[in-house]
Amino acid sequence: MAGAPRRRRSSFHLPPAQGLESNVSFSTLKPLTLALAVTVALTACQQAQTPAVTERQAAPAAPAVDLANLKTPVVSFAAADLDPTVPACADLNAHVNGKWLAANPVPADRTTWGSFELLAERSLEIQRQLVEHMAADPGATGVAKMIGDVWATGMDEAAINAAGLAPIQPMLEEIAALSGPGDIAAYLRRSTAQGRMMLFGFGPEADFQNPGMNIAYATQAGLGLPDKTYYFDDRHAGIREAYLQHIGNILVLTGIEEAQAREMAKAVMEFETRLAKVSLSREELSRDVSKYYNPVSVAQADAITPNFPWSAFFESQGIAAPEMFSLAMPDFHAELSRMIADVPVATWQAYLRYQTVDGAAPYLADAFAEENFNFYGKVLRGQEEMQPRWKRVLNAINGQMGEALGQEYVKVAFPPESKARMQALVGNLGEALKVRLENLEWMGEETKAKALEKWAAFTPKIGYPDKWRDWSGLATSRDSYVGNLMAAIEFNYRWNLSKIGQPVDRSEWAMSPQTVNAYYNPLQNEIVFPAAILQPPFFDPNADDALNYGGIGAVIGHEMIHGYDDQGSRFDAKGSFSNWWTDKDRQGFEERTGKLIAQFDAYESIDGLHVNGKLTLGENIADLGGLAVAYDAMKRAQGEGFSDPMVEGFSQDQRFFMNWATVWRRNFKPEELKVRLQTDPHAPANFRAIGAPSNLPAFAEAFGCSDGDAMVRSEADRVHIW
């Protein structure tokens, strides 16, 4: 969730999930030695699950949770929030959200604030009550004991401060003992075996050509700034200077003398800049998923990286060398191999020392956590204050034991009737999408048949997994916060390794039930809706159809359409990476998506910076198609002879579009917004509120808009894809 002091990517990640919204910060590509969040991968690198899974069974009653007195208000569309001075036809976002946004600035411990954050706050309040109960129970066993141990040690600020660097001192001593290229390669193998990856990500994912089986993937990593462009673009010169200062400050805190630390920081910056030159940018990775699939034999990989033999690496991880794995971004790995040989050992030691300490900093003594926050929170993202410790500890628990906590969360926060209502909505959205696919005028029958085959294979998942993971084997204690997190990281990594060469478990989830988000997984062709998002303004079992279809209905449609966006459309009904398009139809598709790129390129956000239409293309396709499908589904649900109730003087069509805008009610800190414009595959919320409706004639009809109004795109510019 946004607002953590230092959110690093996990030890392994494929492309960001094709989800509704980015729910982690974009502070860095650096994989963590002590990472919290498991980044959701293309098919969803599952949130650290263990091999054994138990069927959902009747569990002991969850502890009492006071849902009636949560401090965070429910988010919902209200006519009183509307700004009559800005017509909907001029700016739907300002009309619906302007008054609320003006009255609700971003809190000091956040970088964004709006509908998603308010729901996340409510979720955190519930989670806090749950974990406090677990930690206070002296007879707790199993998952409850583990979560209670992490919570208790994480909340013990005095013990954490007293420990200083002691929890990671053995790692620093190991780094200090390195003496040559062979030692460096061996250290990278050993640290990876503990789940502490620094220079590359490694883990299982479905084979692009055989999505029923997991293979190993090795990906790029190692950078401390949000994207490779931060190392070279003149606009980011100030950030580079601040980052250089931060590296030095971290090294000083470890006991390095000031002048030496500053020289070491320069070497670390040069090291990362060299890596950045051969790294792919966020835009390149987001808009060409094929970059992640480069199947090679171990012998072929060894030839690419002679100073880091993969034959030795697989042996060090305790897994059999496979016939094939994906060495993604081979140019990156080739350069890393050269760096093992030609970068001085002292520079390697400086880099590894910094990476290790900074990765652990949010969980160490206050001086380390505050320095980490000062750069990644305050300087880079504009966050004024650190979040309170209880939220930071919950973020850590969610990063390493999210599904375990979710098992308790759904007992108190997700009634069965919500799941039943959602299933009906998903079914209705699916039928509406089918009709749209059948009636596409620009697509030929051959491609259309494949599109419908993919539609028929969609798998929806709602609320929570049907099977819960088994955590037996993870040992925690009340001795050390960092020790507990390190144990969980290694435990989760070992489990992930156990997937390599095994069939994909289609029952697994990439997000915990308490996550306010949703996603589409192209390798499994599934759409997934965690319990926490199934609240107003997205979903309310007591609300009228207009609000539910304009909220969660559009979300359902959004995730379905991801199966047909610029990257999802490269996977077939079975999840295989294959071309099921005729050349003519693909050309027609790209002509239409090109118009959408141009539309979002034209949106100016802040300080002359524009939205990147190519980077955000997949999400914009999903918004446009998802909103159109949701509107059709609402009309389908209303049926023949529908009599509009005109709630608060507004028609159902108007309320549908106004609730869509309510979903995207969101303020940003300027610094956060600038980072997102560079790195986030989602456009800023205000443009999402207006982008899709401006292409839909139904919106203009609902509000009586005229040609020439800002929210009405001309016939030549109007985008219609799905």
Domain layout of the chain by residue ranges: 18-60+126-400, 415-463+536-722
Classify each residue of 642-680 as buried b or exposed e, where b means 16 or more C-beta atoms within 10 Å of its C-beta.
eeeeeeeebebbbbbbbbbbbbbbbbbbebbbbbbbbbb
Phi, psi torsion values for 217, nearest 5 degrees = -125, 135
What CATH topology corresponds to 18-60+126-400? Neutral endopeptidase; domain 2 (1.10.1380)
Can you tell me the mean pLDDT for 185-199? 96
Angle at 683 between CA 115 and CA 705, to 5 degrees: 80
- The whole-angstrom separation of Cα 582 and Cα 432 is 24
pLDDT in the model for residue 9: 35
| Reported confidence tier of residue 3, pLDDT bands at 50, 70, 90 | very low
Counting residues of the chain whose pLDDT is more than 90, the rounded percentage is: 88
CA dihedral 153, 157, 162, 163 (to 10 degrees): 40
Give the mean pLDDT of the chain. 92
- pLDDT of 682 > 70? The answer is yes
pLDDT in the model for residue 283: 96
What secondary structure letter does DSSP report for 144? H
Can you tell me the mean pLDDT for 165-175? 97
pLDDT in the model for residue 15: 55
| Least confident among 13-22, 145-154, 578-587, 605-614 | 13-22
Can you tell me the mean pLDDT for 711-719? 96
| Reported confidence tier of residue 42, pLDDT bands at 50, 70, 90 | very low
- pLDDT of 50 > 70? The answer is no
pLDDT in the model for residue 30: 30
What CATH topology corresponds to 415-463+536-722? Collagenase (Catalytic Domain) (3.40.390)
pLDDT in the model for residue 39: 29
Angle of helix 416-438 versus helix 617-638 axis, rounded to 10: 100
SS3 label, residue 206: strand
pLDDT in the model for residue 5: 32
Q: Could you tell me the pTM of the whole model?
A: 0.92
Cis peptide before 537 (omega within 30 of 0): yes
Query: What are the tens digits of pLDDT across the range 623-649?
Result: 999 999 999 999 999 999 999 999 999
| Reported confidence tier of residue 14, pLDDT bands at 50, 70, 90 | low
Contact 503, 214 (CB under 8 A): yes
**18-60+126-400 shares its CATH topology with 415-463+536-722:** no
Sort strands 53-55 and 325-327 into parallel, antiparallel or unpaired: unpaired
User: Which distant-in-sequence residues (6+ apart) come within 8 Å of 144 by Cβ?
Assistant: 134, 137, 408
- pLDDT of 163 > 90? The answer is yes
Query: What are the tens digits of pLDDT across the range 123-135?
Result: 999 999 999 999 9
Query: What are the tens digits of pLDDT across the range 431-464?
Result: 999 999 999 999 999 999 999 999 999 999 999 9
